[in-house]
Structure 1
Amino acid sequence: MVKAAVLGASGGIGQPLSLLLKTCPLVDDLALYDVVNTPGVAADLSHISSVAKISGFLPKDDGLKHALTGADIVVIPAGIPRKPGMTRDDLFKVNASIVRDLVKGIAEFCPKAFVCIISNPVNSTVPIAAEVLKAAGVFDPRRLFGVTTLDVVRAETFAQEFTGQKDPSKAQIPVVGGHSGETIVPLFSKATPAFQIPSDKYEALIKRVQFGGDEVVKAKDGAGSATLSMAFAGFRFAESVIKALKGQTGIVEPTFIYLPGVPGGDAIAKATGTDFFSVPVSLGSGGADKANNILEGVTEQEKKLIQTCTEGLKGNIEKGIEFIKNPPPK
């Protein structure tokens, strides 16, 4: 029996993500939670003829407690998109508070669950979650993941003209670092099967993977950001975690983790100078079994990208930790 919970299930990412989880035969029980509309979303999805039994909860009547109790995996797309007139700092404060409060619930009601964080900015919200779990005395670095799969999905898709794969996902392209702008580093030199990118196309391809979200924002004319592709990526990662939980071996997914708490992570932390970093992680029934160091033997171009990434990433991580240690006045 696998129980999955989606926190932020009524939103632009939450609804399609919940749909994909409802259709997944590996999920037996699916609990949805949000501040509005969740019973309606659950009722709608309940008509789908698939295995998972579904329930929807609101904050009233201990909704968060009911959604989380017994959960094996919790996926968090909760948060708000940036609205006109909002600064990135305004957005950070709102989403940081949302993630903090939801993770407090996880610490109380399902401390052993695998936690998959989608809420942006992931580079800061994952450290926030880690600090909350530490404060509650239940932090297991092997069970906390920042979902960076959309960067991998974009790399696979945007490089298809060079990989020659009819199914873009058949090219395995590791993406390391963080989950925003220049902190996203696709390591095309480490792709399998190997392929070549013409030198005059390389820079544009890197930039497209790093800033692919801007394409969606522009195409939606300011009315939204990437929701459907993010839901697909979130589901792809969650499904891998569930498969590993059920005993399937050989599953490797890039994900943003706390390196010192995962086998193999110390060497990567030393090489990057940061405790949180996205690398390919071998998943097992207990979560992150091993952080795979693929930073050795990268090209000179990739070394420069990693250096730029770590400079930005350190500030993002510190911002998240500082938010918990010295909360801003309300």
Structure 2
Amino acid sequence: MVKACVCGAAGGIGQPLSLLLKLNPLVTELALYDVVNALGVAADLSHIASPAQVTGYLPPDNGAERALEGSDIVIIPAGVPRKPGMTRDDLFVCINAGICATLAQAIATACPKAFILVISNPVNSTVPVFAEVLKKAGVFDPKKLFGVTHLDIVRASTFVSAVVGKPAEASGYTVPVIGGHAGVTILPLLSQSKPAIPSDILADKEKRDALVYRIQFGGDEVVKAKDGAGSATLSMAQAGAEFAKFVLEAAFGGKSKVVQAYVYLGADSGGAAVQKEIGTELEYFSVPIELGSSGIEKILSLGKLDEYEQGLLGAAVKELGPSIEKGATFQPSPPKL
């Protein structure tokens, strides 16, 4: 029996994410929470024949904690979406940090042992918000807190396939992406792609610059195309559901897997080695991790970065520091959920 809870289930990411979780055979109970429309989304999904029994919750009568009670995994896309001209940091200042702090407190009370998957932007800052609230509550388990950066990996694989001229699924490109989840903090390791990217593409600075930029700013591409009507919701939902599947399979299906996620580097001794690799004592970084029954089993080496990627690393580290500090020092006056 596995209970999953989606916080922000009625939003642009939350609805398709909830649908994909309803179809996951490992999920037997699915709780949906949002400030509006969660009951309708739950009723709609409950008509689909799959193992998961669906319930919806709204804020009245302590709805957040009732939704979260006993959850094994919590996926959090809650928050305000980006609009044209907005950065992810703008969202943090607006409202998302307060929402995250409130949900973190509810998790600390209702399901402190759950795996927590943070999608809410800006991930570089919201993950530290969750960590600090959980620390204050005395229930922080760094092995179970993840910033979901999987969309960057999905985009990298898709965009590399496009450059090479092959369909993404058929080409099978897998590109590690480390760093963070915003702009220049997103560091695609094209030199470590499997299969290897043709050398003429990597050697052509103009082509490589364009490919890296598209991976780093693919979200802006979607925001602009939607013309104020939303951000990357469908692709993020797919990526979030796939990452949740990896966690669930490792925790409850006995299938360990190496993935990348934005995590607290103190979760495993390998984090100290990563700090040496990046030349700084940043507490959070998107790194290769080995998932297991307890969450993060190992934090793995970043591997060898080529000269081009070393330059990207410097820019990523420079921007990540203030973003992490912003989240770690956030003083919540959270809205009522």
- TM-score, length of structure 1 as denominator length: 0.94
Q: Deviations over 1:78-97 (max 9, x none)?
A: 00124589786652130000
Residue aligning to 2:291: 283
Paired amino acid for 2:229:
A
d(CA) in 2 for partners of 1:228, 1:96: 23
Q: Deviations over 1:154-188 (max 9, x none)?
A: 00000003284651683221000000000000001
d(CA) in 2 for partners of 1:88, 1:174: 22
- Equivalent residue runs for 1:108-187 within 5 Å: 108-161=109-162, 162=164, 164=166, 167=169, 170-187=172-189
d(CA) in 2 for partners of 1:92, 1:140: 23
Q: Deviations over 1:173-205 (max 9, x none)?
A: 100000000000000111122222511411100
SS of the residue 1:209 aligns to? helix
Paired amino acid for 1:282:
E
Residue aligning to 1:237: 243
Residue aligning to 2:230: 224
Paired amino acid for 1:281:
I
SS of the residue 1:159 aligns to? helix
> 1:229: Cα distance to partner?
0.3
d(CA) in 1 for partners of 2:167, 2:254: 26
SS of the residue 2:26 aligns to? coil
Paired amino acid for 2:277:
A
Contact 2:83 2:223 in 1 (8 A): no
Structure 1: give runs of 5+ residues left out of the alignment.
none
Contact 1:3 1:31 in 2 (8 A): yes
d(CA) in 1 for partners of 2:173, 2:53: 35
Q: Mean alpha-carbon deviation: is it higher for 86-95 or for 27-36?
A: 86-95
Contact 2:84 2:224 in 1 (8 A): no
List structure 1 segments (4+ residues) > 6 angstroms apart after TM superposition.
84-88
> 1:107: Cα distance to partner?
0.6
Out of 251, 255, 262, the residue aligned to residue 257 of structure 2 is 251
Contact 1:178 1:309 in 2 (8 A): yes
SS of the residue 1:32 aligns to? strand
Distance 1:175 1:89, change over 3 A: closer
d(CA) in 2 for partners of 1:133, 1:300: 39
Distance 1:23 1:112, change over 3 A: same
d(CA) in 2 for partners of 1:166, 1:173: 12
Paired amino acid for 1:170:
G
Out of 291, 295, 320, the residue aligned to residue 313 of structure 1 is 320
d(CA) in 2 for partners of 1:168, 1:190: 19
Residue aligning to 2:220: 214
SS of the residue 1:167 aligns to? helix
Determine what percentage of the aligned residue pairs are the same residue. 57
Corresponding position: 1:73 with 2:79: no
d(CA) in 2 for partners of 1:15, 1:251: 27
Distance 1:185 1:168, change over 3 A: farther
> 1:249: Cα distance to partner?
3.0
Contact 1:187 1:298 in 2 (8 A): yes
d(CA) in 2 for partners of 1:285, 1:88: 32
Paired amino acid for 2:318:
E
SS of the residue 1:26 aligns to? coil
SS of the residue 1:232 aligns to? helix
> 1:322: Cα distance to partner?
1.5
Structure 2: give runs of 5+ residues left out of the alignment.
none
Q: Deviations over 1:214-257 (max 9, x none)?
A: 11111111221100000001001001000001143341110000
Paired amino acid for 1:68:
L
Paired amino acid for 1:141:
P
d(CA) in 2 for partners of 1:88, 1:28: 34
SS of the residue 1:36 aligns to? coil
d(CA) in 1 for partners of 2:313, 2:320: 10
Distance 1:176 1:88, change over 3 A: closer
Distance 1:169 1:70, change over 3 A: farther
Distance 1:121 1:307, change over 3 A: same
Out of 271, 275, 300, the residue aligned to residue 269 of structure 1 is 275
Residue aligning to 2:197: 195
SS of the residue 1:5 aligns to? strand
SS of the residue 1:70 aligns to? coil
Out of 310, 313, 322, the residue aligned to residue 303 of structure 1 is 310
Residue aligning to 2:7: 7
Q: Mean alpha-carbon deviation: is it higher for 232-241 or for 87-96?
A: 87-96
